[in-house]
Structure 1
Amino acid sequence: MLSVLRSSWPLLLGVMLLMVGNGMQGTLLGIRGEIEGIGTYEMSVVMSAYFMGFLFGSRMTPEMIRRVGHVRVFAALGSLISAVLVLYATAPNWVAWTAMRVLIGFSFSGVYIVAESWLNAQSTNENRGQALSVYMIMQMLGVITAQILLNTGDPSGYFLFVIPSVLVSLAFTPILLSVAPAPPFATTKRMSFARLFAASPLGCVGIFLLGGVFSALFGMSSVWGTHAGLSVREISIFVAAIYVGGLLFQYPIGWASDRMDRRVLILALAIMGAVSMGLVFIMAPGFGVLLFMAALIGGIANPLYSLMVAYTNDYLDNSDMAAASAGLLFINGLGAITGPLATGWLMEAVGDNGFFLYIALLMALVAAYAGWRMTRRPSIPADQTGAFAVLSPAATTLAVEAALEAAQDTSQSDTDDTPSVGH
């Protein structure tokens, strides 16, 4: 891991600063929306717009890179992000914010694609898995740091919008001044959704539903917090707890997924998520319990995403995994667009805790569908499945492909090192 940090620290530092900026703007808008008197459903539209832009960016950025190159795309999109972060405070109404969120989602998607392609090019077959793990950790640390910085100013002013703008601008300095050349860029072949669904119905349905969970958690948490009467400090701690849980639970769940029936693990995690969020909805517990539940649902939802990708790949040839990952990310993006909209509607229909009810319902649907699919075909033995790869829902196709490739290489290496047993 130290060798990865030595060779890729400019890129990793830049990614962390980018995530600080992204994490701040998501939470800050939810708080500022309440101050400006913007309604719950209008804020859900604002939050949904980011995921719409992110989805467009994932489809359009490869063509932009082929036309003008990595560096120009990186610099242009970075400048756009920095500008939008400042403009939020100058036009505090939901229509303007919706347009800005589309732009910033589009730009962050493109920036991640460029950064991940650089990281992949700098890594070797021996350290690619470690590099991607460090990359995911830096993303999480960036968002957690963002929640700390939210407590340094008044959300009704300009200062908290200036901080992420400056940090995003600074993020490009170590990356663009590093000596690493721009990597080659190849387009992933496409797989039809019909073929992907035929290979893994649970993977497709589960990824779509989890898209709604992620966008609710990471887009509407601060909106819920302001309506629930939490202070800025409490909201920032609540959001940070979600990411801390996601950081801590990935590896133990990944370890378990390589040693047992993945559908059983998916079912168990989904039931746990549904029950925990259902209890919060019914009981409306105190802040301490809320933090525990936030860490729990973050620790369930993040690994569950990686688990769905790994499960889907169990039914695919290695040559199809890259195309499948692109299709799964698109399905996840469609689910993410609907998440804040449905959450906002439920919050208006049943009250603020409709936020938790929505997540509970989606987790229950994942559990129900996983249980039903277990009756439709036999499971693959654990020793015949592919390796689990730690993934982030914010990762682009490039990172997912590289993570899966590294996981497969590790799994193959472990198999080759295992002595055979004669009878």
Structure 2
Amino acid sequence: MIAVIGSAWALFLGMGLLMVGNGMQGTLLGIRGEIEGFSTFEMSFVMAAYFAGFLGGSQLAPEMIRRVGHVRVFAALASFISAVLILFPSVTEPWAWILLRIIIGFCFSGVYVTAESWLNNATTVETRGQALSVYMIVQMGGIVAAQSLVAVGDPSGFLLFVIPSVLVSLSFAPILLSIAPTPPFETTKPMSLARLFRLSPLGCVGMFLTGGMYAAQFGMASVYATQAGLTVPQISSFIGAIFLGGLIFQYPVGWLSDRLDRRVLILGCSIFGTIVCAFGVILPASFAVVATIGFLTGGMVNPLYALLIAHTADHLDYEDMSAASGGLIFMNGLGAIAGPVAIGGLMTAVGPSGFWLFVTALLALLSAYAAFRMTRRPAPSVDETGAYVSLTPSVSTVGVVAGAEWAEAQQEEDAAAS
């Protein structure tokens, strides 16, 4: 592990600062939108715009990198992100925020593609699993740490927007000044969604539903908490609890994933999450209640992304996983775009509890579909499945493919040892 960190410390440091900046702006906009008088439905489009840009970036960034190289793309996207963060408090109109969120989502997507390409190049197949684990800890830890900074300033002013802008600017320094060579980059022809659905129906449907859940956490949680009457420190603690739960539960879920039918685990996480979120609908929105529910919900929802990718990989030949990853991320992105708008409509109709009602409904749908798929075909033998790799919805196709490559190597190693 020490050798892995030493070989890519500049990337981990840079990504940590970047995720602090990204985590701050996601929470801060929900609070500032309320101060500016934006309606819940308007804010839902603002939050959805990030995921629209992110999906566009995941499709276009690989070709940009192939044409002009990692360094130029990295530097260009860095300047856009830093500028956009400063513009949010300067142009307080919903249409302007929607445009800025599209830009920032596109840029962050490109940054992730670039960073994960570097990480892939800096590690071997044997160390890639550890490197991806550290990378995901840095990502989730950065978002959690960001919430403590949100509570130190006045969200109606400029300072809290300047801080993430500075952090994002600083995040690129250790990466761009690193002496590590930039890796080659190859694009892969994607698999058609129809073929992907035939190979893994649960993977496709699950990724779409999980996209809506993740968008609820990353996009609309601060809007919900503001509408529920929580204070700024309570809002930041609530969002921190969601991602802390996701970080803590990744590893026990991953341990179980390598020992059980993954559909059983997907079903179990979904049912437990459904029950937990239902309490959010019926219980009063006190801080203790929402923080506890947020922690448990984050712990169930965030590992589902990696579980669904691992489940899909179990039904594909290794050489197909690279092409399939683009389709999985596309389905997740569609769900993430639709999620905030649906939540905004529900919260407008029934109040803040519409946030939990939406997540409850998605988890219930995933539970039902996972149970249905378990009746359609037998599970592969545990000995024939690849290893679980901790991945979050912010990972690009590069990270998914790198994880699949490591899982395949682990499977071959285990088969040789047995």
Residue 238 (structure 2) aligns with: 238
* 1:213 alignment partner AA: M
Which deviates further from its counterpart, 153-162 or 268-277? Answer: 268-277
Distance in 1 separating the partners of 2:304 and 2:349: 28
* TM-score with structure 2 setting the length: 0.98
Residue 11 (structure 1) aligns with: 11
Residue 358 (structure 2) aligns with: 358
Residue 209 (structure 1) aligns with: 209
* TM superposition shift of 1:285: 5.1
Alignment of 1:41-120 (within 5 A): 41-120=41-120
* 1:185 alignment partner AA: F
* 1:154 alignment partner AA: D
* 1:364 alignment partner AA: A
CA-to-aligned-CA distance 1:26-58 (integer Å, 9 cap, x gap): 000000000000000000000000000000001
Distance in 2 separating the partners of 1:220 and 1:142: 19
* TM superposition shift of 1:383: 2.2
* 1:414 alignment partner AA: D
Residues 281 and 357 in structure 2, CA contact (< 8 A), matched pair in contact too:
yes
Residues 318 and 404 in structure 2, CA contact (< 8 A), matched pair in contact too:
no
CA-to-aligned-CA distance 1:277-329 (integer Å, 9 cap, x gap): 01210122532232121111111111111111111111111110111111100
* 1:184 alignment partner AA: P
Distance in 2 separating the partners of 1:411 and 1:38: 51
Which deviates further from its counterpart, 5-14 or 355-364? Answer: 5-14
Matched, 1:193 2:185: no
CA-to-aligned-CA distance 1:148-192 (integer Å, 9 cap, x gap): 111121000000000000000000110110101111000022111
Alignment of 1:226-375 (within 5 A): 226-284=226-284, 286-375=286-375
Distance in 2 separating the partners of 1:414 and 1:66: 35
Residue 421 (structure 1) aligns with: none
* 2:363 alignment partner AA: M
Distance in 1 separating the partners of 2:102 and 2:247: 27
* TM superposition shift of 1:359: 0.1
Which deviates further from its counterpart, 163-172 or 384-393? Answer: 384-393
SS in 1 for 2:89: helix
Distance in 1 separating the partners of 2:87 and 2:292: 35
* TM superposition shift of 1:394: 0.4
Residue 220 (structure 2) aligns with: 220
* 1:124 alignment partner AA: T
Alignment of 1:173-192 (within 5 A): 173-192=173-192
Residues 125 and 405 in structure 2, CA contact (< 8 A), matched pair in contact too:
no
Instruction: Give aligned-pair identity as a percent.
Output: 60
**Number of matched residues?**
418
* TM superposition shift of 1:214: 0.4
* 2:352 alignment partner AA: D
* 1:321 alignment partner AA: M
* Stretches of structure 2 lacking an aligned partner (at least 5 in a row): none
Which deviates further from its counterpart, 42-51 or 147-156? Answer: 147-156
Distance in 1 separating the partners of 2:373 and 2:7: 45
Alignment of 1:7-46 (within 5 A): 7-46=7-46
Distance in 2 separating the partners of 1:109 and 1:203: 22
* Stretches of structure 1 lacking an aligned partner (at least 5 in a row): 419-423
* 1:316 alignment partner AA: L
* 1:93 alignment partner AA: E
Distance in 1 separating the partners of 2:314 and 2:69: 35
* 1:107 alignment partner AA: C
Matched, 1:154 2:154: yes
Distance in 2 separating the partners of 1:248 and 1:407: 21
Distance in 2 separating the partners of 1:306 and 1:289: 27
Residues 85 and 165 in structure 2, CA contact (< 8 A), matched pair in contact too:
yes
Residues 266 and 367 in structure 2, CA contact (< 8 A), matched pair in contact too:
yes
Distance in 2 separating the partners of 1:331 and 1:126: 30
Residues 385 and 411 in structure 2, CA contact (< 8 A), matched pair in contact too:
no
Residues 44 and 340 in structure 2, CA contact (< 8 A), matched pair in contact too:
yes
The RMSD of aligned alpha carbons is 1.0
SS in 2 for 1:89: coil
Structure 1 residues 363 and 107, CA, compared in 2 at 3 Å: closer, same or farther? same
Distance in 2 separating the partners of 1:230 and 1:286: 8
* TM-score with structure 1 setting the length: 0.97
Residues 117 and 185 in structure 2, CA contact (< 8 A), matched pair in contact too:
yes
* 1:35 alignment partner AA: I
* 2:240 alignment partner AA: A
Distance in 2 separating the partners of 1:119 and 1:381: 31
Alignment of 1:132-143 (within 5 A): 132-143=132-143
CA-to-aligned-CA distance 1:121-145 (integer Å, 9 cap, x gap): 1111221111111011100111011
